[in-house]
Structure 1
């Protein structure tokens, strides 16, 4: 809910984002709010942030508020980002018993590059069973793009080798569209990591990279505890390069098997 504040529209928009998603924008980064909202201002005929904030206050649950939240979310992503991480995930999945299908959850999947990278990685491993890949994000517009599998020339070149680009994507009107067979390998769902019900079942790998950075310490701890509930006792959590569980939660500990990844503690696994 957007709460009018005397601090001005910038603070109002930051409060709206936090109320809807739990994500915070640090004071030293709030300059990007006006930049991010310029397309909405132009499209909706508002000549100032004050005017847009007033319109949202008049209709707090309307389409404009939803659009503002989507545009304030950081949707930075790329294919095979930090490629050694994907190699390690391949090792984790290779260790899963052949008696069951492995499961991977890409939490905070943005516009889909991460889960589609996973789908390509395992589709090419003909000797291994294809994992079930679940991908979630709080942004409806980002998920629409992910489901469509449509990327610009700039986006497709970020981390995607030409061989994979030609194998899995088709060039259409200057963009690149994923083959339907690739997008069908991923189950995309909208989900708020803080508040929405968790996916059903347990996962062997959960990726939650560069999402926790935007939460307060309390919410970060809450989300990590929720993730631990749906991770198998021998599963692993993958965080971003600048993230850690140390000093954040008792639900995870550094993995002894996979360097840089995290395992649920016994208590977290038992409580699930």
Structure 2
């Protein structure tokens, strides 16, 4: 399929302008691969023609479709299972102790893609009913991709997606099979609020969260944009809250707003809280 270097620059620039994400030179190949189905669907002869039409601005919905196609929506249930275990046994337990008086927990899944991460968290908490009896747990899940959010809200997954990381017991308890697809039950869907949102914008309501999951999102930002993202996350987290990043992400050398703690390896706390705890330990 024909595409010029100029068209690739246009489309990569569009992605960066709309989302803050930057396509590294080594990943530019994704443009053709990701947009090929859209080119065929809209009847364009080439990527070049698609890029030219995007530049005219005559089809706003086309721009949204291009952005959705270029975003990396890779996700699956209980991705990096060991991290979920750490969140359950350490982060949530610590927050449960700290919030015992109010018995309310607010969680934000930023960059939630098609919803598997947020649903995993909701199922994990719901399946531990005795531990969370009497508690209100609010889970807000956001993504910049309108297409991904629509799929997450629908809660419908293919056989491949439902089997990827999801234990059979949870599959049967929380989803209904309909031919080749599985649909999240109403009770599960009620546990998560899905919204379209850019992590670089002001935090979603309620604006202060006890636990934030922002995994494999910052990875694609250039350094200055990553700093802005950390600032936004810091403004959205409670002073004693917990932040979870992806396996290839870190706060080291990126921000002083969050600091790693030894007892929460791979998880991060707001800098002031972590420093205060370190001082007491000393």
Please, what TM-score do these two structures have when normalized by structure 2? 0.89
**1:205 equivalent in alignment to 2:208:** no
Shift of 1:201: 3.5
SS in 2 for 1:132: strand
Distance (whole Å) between structure 2 residues aligned to residue 130 and residue 78 of structure 1: 26
Closer, same or farther: CA 164–130 of 1 in aligned 2, 3 Å: farther
Residues in 1 aligned to 2:46 and 2:76: alpha-carbon distance in whole angstroms: 33
> How far did residue 268 of structure 1 move?
11
- The CA deviation at 1:225 is 1.3
**Other-structure match for 1:99:** 101
In the alignment, which of 87, 90, 98 is matched to residue 89 of structure 1?
A: 87
Count residues with an aligned counterpart.
264
DSSP 3-state at the match of 1:247: coil
* Alignment match, 1:135: 141
Aligned residues of 1:169 and 1:177 also touching (Cα < 8 A): yes
| RMSD between superposed Cα atoms in Å | 1.7
User: Which residue in the other structure is 2:50 paired with?
Assistant: 52
Aligned to 1:63: 61
Displacement after TM superposition at 1:195 (Å): 2.9
Q: Trace 1:1-272 onto structure 2 (pairs within 5 A).
A: 7-59=5-57, 62-91=60-89, 92-95=91-94, 96=96, 97-100=99-102, 101-127=104-130, 128=132, 129-266=135-272
Identify if the C-alpha distance between structure 1 residues 216 and 61 changes in structure 2 by more than 3 Å, giving closer, same or farther: farther
SS in 2 for 1:262: strand
In 2, Cα distance between equivalents of 1:50 and 1:256: 51
Give TM-score, length-normalised by structure 1. Answer: 0.93
Kept in 2, the 8 Å contact 1:208–1:239? The answer is yes
Provide, for residues 1-44 of structure 1, a one-character-per-residue CA deviation record: whole Å limited to 9, x for no partner.
xxxxx941111110000000001111111111101001110110
- What SS does the corresponding residue of 1:9 show, helix, strand or coil? helix
Off by >6 Å, runs of 4+ in structure 1: none
Q: Partner of 2:263: helix, strand, or coil?
A: coil
Counterparts of 1:235 and 1:68 in 2: how far apart (Å)? 36
Partner of 2:68, secondary structure, is: helix
Q: Unpaired runs of 5+ in structure 2?
A: 276-282
Instruction: Give the 3-state SS of the residue equivalent to 2:176 in structure 1.
Output: strand
Question: Kindly tell me: are residues 13 and 264 of structure 1, through their superposed partners in 2, closer, same or farther at Cα, counting changes over 3 Å?
Answer: same
Q: Distance in 1 between matches of 2:215 and 2:153?
A: 20
**Whose helix proportion is higher, 1 or 2?**
2
* Alpha carbons 2:261, 2:274 under 8 Å: kept: no
1:192-231 Cα distance to aligned partner (Å, 9 max, x none): 1113454324211100000001101011011111101121
**Alignment deviations for residues 49-93 of structure 1 (CA, whole Å, 9 cap, x no partner):** 111111111126611111000000000000001112112222322
Cα distance in 1, alignment partners of residues 215 and 205 from structure 2 = 18
